[in-house]
Amino acid sequence: MFVYPNNIYIYLTIVKLCEVVTGMNSREISLQNEKEQEVLAGIGIGERARILELQFKGAHRRRLLDLGLLPGTEVIAVMKSPLGSPIAYAIRGSLIALRREDTSKIIVKRENEKLKGE
Amino acid sequence: MSVKVKVSFIQEKHEDLEKGHDYLVALAGNPNTGKSTVFNQLTGLKQHVGNWPGKTVVRAEGTLEYQGNRYKLIDLPGTYSLLSNAVDEEIARNFILFGHPEVVILVVDSTCLERNLNLVLQVLEISDHVVVCLNLMDEAAKKGIEIDVNQLSRDLGVPVIPTIANKGEGLKELIESVAKVASGRTHTRPHHFSLEPEISNAVEKVTPYLEKLVENIPNSRWITLFLLEGDARIRETLETGELARRAHVNKKVVKPKTSELKELYRLIEETSSSIQEPIHDYVVTSIYADAESIASRAIQRSESSSKHDFDAKIDKIITSRKFGFPIMTLFLIGLFWITIVGANVPSQLLADGLFLIEEHLASVFKSLEAPLWLEGFVIHGVYRGLAWVVSVMLPPMAIFFPLFTILEDVGFLPRVAFNLDRLFQWSGAHGKQAITMCMGFGCNAAGVISCRSISSPRERVIAILTNNFVPCNGRWPTLILMATMFVAGIVPAKTSSLFAAVILAIITLVGIFATFFVSALLSKTLLKGENSFFMLEMPSYRRPQFLPVLYRSFIERTIKVLYRAVVVAAPAGGIIWILGNVYIGSNSLMTILAGSLSSIGRLIGLDGMILLAFIIALPANEIIIPTIIMGYTGASVMTEIASLAELQALFVANGFTIVTAVCLMLFSVLHFPCGTVTYTIWKETRSLKWTILSNLIPLTVAFIACFIVAQLAYLIGFV
């Protein structure tokens, strides 16, 4: 249960505190990949992309494949968590939330057409 | 009705049939397909819920009677695939492979057919006797999805029955179809997906060898595929002879010869080295290629969809930066408010009723001329402890859990996890921990059990060890009492109830902060490791089924609480009575023990009696306040004092200050879990280390927090 303030800053403070405690800043880690190739993490809300490659091995790769995230699959970024990550994607008719640190390892090709109403 | 499964699935089946079941039916499907709804509708109340042997995965089984035959239904864990190694998938896979079910019902979410077909095609590969239950047809219609059932059935080669399980539609047809398949009246021709030539050649090469090694092995091609993939579990079952035993009906374990095994592995090594990409990729690609073409033939999608828009609109608000957190917070506050306010009257009624019974019991003891100590021990100790826990605990739980289950069924809780995941990611934990924490507000033992939904072992242990930092229903009364009595006393009466609520919220926040802090600490030290792969499916919003929810969560919780009260609180009541009534010299044991704890207590802003109450109330946090009162008044029994002013006077007379109240609240939120939770943690982790740590960590945190607060207060001369 959280106290009820009218803005988000108290939560962001908690985020910041956790960041200090863990010494981790996932934004820095996750964006490294985006400069070279287009990754799923870089796709904006309402945009479409086609999966090219999964830079995963072993169990993670299997999980993604089982969900239907195969090379060639079309994905739409549907909504973003208030804290920026995870992002929910429409994948083969279902809505699946993935973390930024994972989607930054999924290489995609952006499909330019923007969906109406989303 | 419980069936003890010790040796194998085969043996279990024989036991089932001995018990008068004619057919064994397995229920499989993706998570969130309404599988349990189908199960509940088919079996009604004839259910038994237990665990899979050696696993902490729930196993529900039930009986269905149709046209004079008895069908035993087993609800398999929801899975996306049978190809991975997660515990859930292994259980589902093993049961379909080796459990010899006569029929497998595959529950399919018709709103995302393609993804569901992935599992369907895998099951069709290993079982001929399949009936597809095309569920959630109403949702699909709302989303503008139309499915040609006949076409789908032709393509899959098995019966496909459209259903709306929560309205009971299509279930008759489903049962009929299951009966026909079970009795062999329906002949199925299941679709088999086409493997790439490279892979199928490899399978062809290895399969005969495996068949020679394990005679009559069912699904040898499929098992070969697993072996080629390097599946460690299948290898293990092969090496120990378990595979052979499951393949045969005889129960003797015949280990394959080492030389033969070596030969098989050499062959596998040789064949798989010629395949470049991971075999899993090939297999999944082949399956999805088939799934796509089957789905595209079956689906006629129309573009406009009001339901889709409706979901999107709600999601936009619930997950927005502006409203996301306030809405979640309001929902949770609402949940607590309804629970606490709603529980007041039934709690009082229960207490009155139970204490009336106590009087009658006492008169029975008197008429039997039983010795006074026996009457005291049984009635004022054991019975009163029991009555106290039941009356304090039962009503809030009976309100909280149905409400919680409804929020879960509606699809709200996955959104909570979605909104909060980033905080958990930072502390190295899993987003679903948000849901287990919410559950913990009701009862930490239930919260610990709900951690099963977290599939990664590392994140699951973090969630289990920190669940206790959210105050459960048993601790709310203590917190509310302290907040209203002492802390709110310092502000004007008009605003005092509001102020008390704020204090409660702050204390809860402290608990939540401790959760994140300890989670982060654990994932940096004892539970080091990378964040596991996180995925969270966000189901469509659904109208909950009120009656089944009420029935299930009410009856199940009620029975559990009563059971817990008898097993745990009753002996505690007895012990408390002994402590209060056995005298050494002129002091009761309680006074003596409290005295010896006094110096430690003072160090952390409490006193000896409070600390003693926390220790002897270990089995149930509900009786902490009654025990403290008993100690302070020197009474021989746990009592309640009706008036708040009187109670406050008693506490003040025993040295209570605001600092004591604050430290008591802090200690209550942060201290070691109650006996039931500790026992549950042991059962869930099967690890002495984690069970001990689950007590040591909170104890340390509570000591440090209270120490700092108390010493600071003493230092600045606050008291």
Residue B354: count other Cβ atoms within 10 Å of its Cβ.
16
Helix B493-524 crosses helix B433-442 at what angle (to 10 degrees)? 140
- Mean pLDDT of the region B683-691: 92
d(CA B143, CA B310): 10
Report whether the peptide linkage leading into residue A86 is cis, meaning its omega lies within 30 degrees of zero: yes
CB contact under 8 A, B83 and A66: yes
Mean of pLDDT values over B400-428: 91
Q: Which residue of B has its CA nearest to A71?
A: B285
Binary contact (A101, B537; C-beta < 8 A): no
Give the whole-angstrom CA distance, residue A91 versus residue A85: 17
Give the gap in angstroms from C-alpha B143 to the nearest C-alpha of chain A: 10
Least confident piece of the model among A37-46, B77-86, B671-680, B704-713: B77-86
Tell me which amino acid residue B77 is.
P
Confidence of residue B540 (pLDDT cuts 50, 70, 90): confident
Contact state of A66 with B534 under an 8 Å Cβ cutoff: no
- pLDDT category at B455 given cuts 50, 70, 90 is confident
| Strand partners of residue B548 | none
Supply the DSSP symbol for B190. Answer: -
In a shared domain, residues A106 and A52: yes
Residue B253 is predicted with a pLDDT of 64
- Size of the A and B interface in Cβ pairs below 8 Å: 177
Q: Which of B85, B320, B325 sits opposite A2 (nearest CB)?
A: B325
CA-based nearest distance B473→chain A, Å: 13
Do B206 and B230 meet the contact criterion of CB atoms below 8 Å apart? no
pLDDT in tens, A49-62: 999 999 988 888 88
- Closest CA in chain A for residue B311: A95
Q: Reduce the DSSP state of residue B24 to 3 states and report it.
A: strand
Q: pLDDT tens digit string along B88-127?
A: 888 898 888 888 899 999 999 999 999 999 999 999 988 8
Is position A84 within any domain? Answer: yes
Residue B718 CA, chain-centre distance (Å), reads 44
Report yes or no on A89 lying in a domain: yes
pLDDT tens digits, residue range B465-506? 999 999 988 898 889 888 888 776 677 777 777 788 888 889
The DSSP code sequence of A28-61 is: HHHHGGGGTS-BGGGPPTTEEEEEEEE---HHHH
Around Cβ B549, how many Cβ atoms within 10 Å?
18
Are residues B325 and A15, on separate chains, in Cβ contact within 8 Å?
A: no
Say yes or no to pLDDT of B36 above 90.
Answer: no
Alpha carbon of A112: minimum distance to chain B alpha carbons (Å): 20
Residue whose entry in the numeric block shows the structure tokens 């009620």:
B558
pLDDT, one tens digit per residue, over B130-151 is 999 999 999 888 888 899 999 9
> Which residues of chain B make contact with A78, given a CB cutoff of 8 A?
312, 315
Quote the minimal CA–CA distance from A36 to chain B in Å.
23
CB spacing of A93 vs B113 below 8 angstroms: yes
Find the angle CA(B106)-CA(B109)-CA(B114) to the nearest 5 degrees.
90
CB contact under 8 A, A101 and B81: no
State the burial class of residue B131 (Cβ atoms within 10 Å of its Cβ: 0-12, 13-18, 19+).
Answer: buried
Going by the DSSP 8-state scheme, the letter that residue B111 receives in this structure is: G
How far apart are the C-alpha atoms of B598 and B596, rounded to whole Å?
Answer: 5
Whether residue B538 and residue A95 make contact (CB cut-off 8 A), yes or no, is yes
Q: Are residues A103 and A47 in the same domain?
A: yes
Q: How close B197 gets to chain A, by Cα (Å)?
A: 20
Q: How confident is residue B718, by pLDDT bands cut at 50, 70 and 90?
A: low
* The pairing of beta strand B145-147 with beta strand B299-301: antiparallel
Residue A1 lies in a domain: no
Q: What's the whole-number average pLDDT of chain B? A: 86
Same domain, A29 and A42: no
**What are the chain A neighbours of B93 within 8 Å (beta carbons)?**
none
Can you give the pTM of this predicted structure? 0.84
Q: Which residue range is the domain that position A48 belongs to?
A: 38-114
Residue B587 identity (one-letter amino acid)? N
**What is the structure's pLDDT at B260?**
81
| Closest residue by Cα to residue B39 from B96, B87, B69, B78 | B78
* Rounded Cα distance, B448 and B167, in Å: 32
Say if CB B478 and CB B624 are below 8 A apart.
yes
CA of B513: which chain A residue's CA is closest? A14
Chain A, nearest residue to B502 by Cα? A3
Residues facing residue A98 across a β-bridge: A87, B535
A76 and A100 share one domain: yes
- Cβ within 8 Å, pair A70-B288: yes
> Which residues in chain B are contacts of A85 at CB distance < 8 A?
421-422, 425
Q: How many CB atoms lie within 10 A of CB B17?
A: 14
Minimum mean pLDDT among B17-21, B429-433, B562-566: which range?
B17-21
For A62, which of B280, B521, B534 is closest by C-beta distance? B280
Residue A53 lies in a domain: yes
Residue A69: which CATH number?
Answer: 2.30.30.90
Neighbours of B51 (CB within 10 A): 13
**Best mutation site among B109, B119, B143, B284 for testing chain A: the one with the most A CBs within 10 Å?**
B284
Query: Do residues A59 and A82 share a domain?
Result: yes
Q: Are residues A27 and A49 in the same domain?
A: no
**How far is B295 from B444, CA to CA, in rounded Å?**
44
Instruction: Check A93 against B115: CB less than 8 A apart.
Output: yes
**Is B173 in contact with B135 (CB distance < 8 Å)?**
no
Q: Which residue of B has its CA nearest to A117?
A: B309
Between chains, do B281 and A65 touch, taking CB under 8 Å as contact? Answer: yes
Residue B528 has pLDDT above 90, yes or no: no
Q: Comparing B141-150, B250-259, B292-301, B562-571, which segment has the lowest mean pLDDT?
A: B250-259
Chain A environment of B278 (Cβ under 8 Å): 61
Residues of A in contact with B144 (CB under 8 A): none
Regarding whether A94 and A69 lie in a shared domain, the answer is yes
Chain B hits for A118, Cβ within 8 Å = 312
Interface test with A, best of B145, B522, B535, B669 (most A CBs within 10 A): B535
Query: What is the rounded CA–CA span in Å between residue B88 and residue B674?
Result: 29
Chain B neighbors of A90, CB-CB under 8 A = none
Domain count, chain A: 2
B312, B505, B535 member nearest A97 (Cβ): B535
Is the pLDDT assigned to residue B18 strictly greater than 70? no
Q: With CB atoms and an 8 Å threshold, state whether B332 touches A101.
A: no
**pLDDT of the residue at A93:** 85
The candidate with the shortest Cα–Cα distance to B311, out of B237, B414, B219, B208, is: B414
Q: Residue B148 has which token pair?
A: 């040609």
Whether the per-residue pLDDT at B336 is higher than 70: the answer is yes
Query: Which pLDDT belongs to residue B460?
Result: 93
CB contact under 8 A, B520 and A22: yes
* Contact between A18 and B502 using a beta-carbon 8 Å cutoff: no
**Are residue A54 and residue A104 in the same domain, yes or no?**
yes
- Answer yes or no: is pLDDT of B17 > 60: no
Q: Measured between alpha carbons, how far is B504 from B653 in angstroms, rounded to an integer?
A: 25
Residues of chain A neighbouring B509 (CB-CB closer than 8 A): 1-3
CB contact under 8 A, A83 and B419: yes
- A68, B118: Cβ pair inside 8 Å? yes
**Closest partner CB to A21 (pick from B431, B517, B537):** B517
Is residue B458 pLDDT above 70, yes or no?
Answer: yes
Give the range among B38-42, B289-293, B355-359, B385-389 with minimum mean pLDDT.
Answer: B385-389
CB B423 to CB A68 under 8 A?
Answer: no
Per-residue pLDDT, averaged over B7-25, amounts to: 59
Q: How far is CA B650 from CA B597, B629, B637, in A?
A: 20, 8, 16
pLDDT tens across B369-405, in order?
Answer: 888 888 888 888 888 888 888 888 888 888 888 888 8
* CA atoms within 13 A of residue A85's CA, in its CB half-sphere: 24
**Best residue of B533, B537, B542, B669 to probe chain A, by most A CBs closer than 10 Å:** B533
Mutation target to probe the B interface, by most B beta carbons within 10 A, among A94, A96, A101, A106 is A94
The pLDDT > 70 percentage for chain B reads 92
Report pLDDT for A33: 47
**Proportion of chain B in helix, strand, coil states, percent, rounded to 5:** 65, 10, 25
Candidates A9, A18, A20, A55, partner chain B, best to mutate (most B CBs within 10 A): A18
Q: Could you give the dihedral angle defined by the CA atoms of residues B104, B109, B115 and B119, in that order, rounded to the nearest 10 degrees?
A: -10
> Which residues of chain A, if any, have pLDDT below 50?
1-5, 26-34, 116-118
Cross-chain Cβ contact B422/A15 below 8 Å:
yes
Each residue's pLDDT tens digit, B181-223: 999 999 899 998 888 888 888 888 888 888 888 877 777 888 8
Give Cα B639 distance to the centre of its chain: 35
Judged by CB atoms closer than 8 Å, whether chains meet at B325 and A117 is answered as: no
B59 CA: distance to closest CA in chain A (Å): 23
- What is the C-alpha R_g of chain B? 30
| Cβ within 8 Å, pair B278-A117 | no
Residues of chain A contacting B109 with CB distance shorter than 8 Å = 94
Q: Mutate one of B288, B498, B513 to test the A interface: name it (highest A CB count within 10 A).
A: B288
Instruction: Examine the domain organization and report whether A31 and A42 are in the same domain.
Output: no
- Chain A's closest residue to B535, CA to CA, is A98
Q: Is A16 in the same domain as A43?
A: no
**A26/A56 same-domain check:** no
Q: Minimum mean pLDDT among B96-110, B621-635, B696-710: which range? A: B621-635
Interface confidence, given as ipTM, is: 0.84
Residues A67, A22 share a domain: no
Angle at B62 between CA B57 and CA B65, to 5 degrees: 160
Question: Is B175's pLDDT higher than 70?
Answer: yes
- The pLDDT > 70 percentage for chain A reads 64
Name the residue in chain B with its Cα closest to that of A105.
B533
